[in-house]
Amino acid sequence: MASPANFWDGIAERYAARPIKDVAAYDAMLADAASRLKPTDRVLELGCGTGSTAIRLAPYAASWTATDFSPEMLRIARAKQAPDTLRFILADAQSAFDGGPYDAICAFQLLHLVDDVSQLLAAIHANLKPDGLLISKTWCFAEMSLPLRALFRILRAAKLFPKARALTRSELRQAISAAGFDIAEERVFGQNPHGPYIVARKRPLAKETLAARQLLSAKG
C-alpha cells in the first residue's frame, strides 16, 4: 500500500514552485510567531515541507529542528540556503520528538493531515518544556461550503488531494485544550477564515492525568 508520504513526494516540486497566495498575511503570521520566540529557544517543527517557514524563523531561536516524513520535500528544503542552526530531519510527526523537551513546537498546515490529532497533540504536550508553546496553523475545512467539500472529495478520489480530516475550528480548539494547552492566541491572517493560526501554552497536567498517561505508556 502506498505510504501517505508518497502523495507529498509526488507533489513536492509543484508545492515548492507554487507562489504564496497572500504574502502580507504570511509575513504577518511569521512576525507573530517570531515575536513569541526567545534567542535561547530550542524549536521543533513538524511537517516542515520545503523549509520556507523554518528558514525564515530559525534566526529567532537558538536551534531549529525541522522535520517532515516526505524525502522529496526535505530534498528541496536541504537545497536551500539555511542558517547553521537549522537542521532538516526525516521523521513522521508522531515520532519526531528526539532531542526534546523543546521550548516551542510548530505545526504549520499539518494537524488536519494526521490520523489522530489528539494523539499527536498529546505527544507535542509531552515533549514541550513547562510553559512551552505550540505554534500552529491548521486548515479547518469542515465549515467550508458543500460544493467545495464535494470538490475535495473528488480530488481526493483522484489522488490529487491528501488524506485529511475535516475539522471545525471549534473541534480543533477543543482538541488542543483537551491535550493540556491554554490557547494564548487564535486569529486569522488574511481573508480565509478556515485556516486559524493558534498559539497555545502548555498547561501542567493534573497529577491523575499524568499518572494515567505514564501507566498507558508503560503498558506500551
Ligand X SMILES: C[S@@+](CC[C@H](N)C(=O)[O-])C[C@H]1O[C@@H](n2cnc3c(N)ncnc32)[C@H](O)[C@@H]1O
The residues binding ligand X (CB under 6 A) are 8, 47-49, 53, 68-70, 73, 92-93, 108-110, 113-114
Residue with Cβ nearer ligand X (94 or 177): 94
Task: Tell me the closest approach of the beta carbon of residue 53 to ligand X, in angstroms.
Answer: 6
Residue with Cβ nearer ligand X (20 or 211): 20
Task: Tell me the closest approach of the beta carbon of residue 200 to ligand X, in angstroms.
Answer: 17
Q: Do residues 138 and 187 touch, judged by C-beta distance below 8 A?
A: no
Q: Do residues 141 and 194 touch, judged by C-beta distance below 8 A?
A: yes
Residue with Cβ nearer ligand X (69 or 102): 69
Task: Tell me the closest approach of the beta carbon of residue 186 to ligand X, in angstroms.
Answer: 18
Q: Do residues 202 and 181 touch, judged by C-beta distance below 8 A?
A: yes
Residue with cell string 537542521: 87
What type of residue is 188? Answer: V
Task: Tell me the closest approach of the beta carbon of residue 15 to ligand X, in angstroms.
Answer: 7
Reduce the DSSP state of residue 50 to 3 states and report it: coil
Q: Rounded to the nearest 5°, which phi and psi values hold at 85?
A: -80, 0
- Residue closest to ligand X, measured at CB: 49
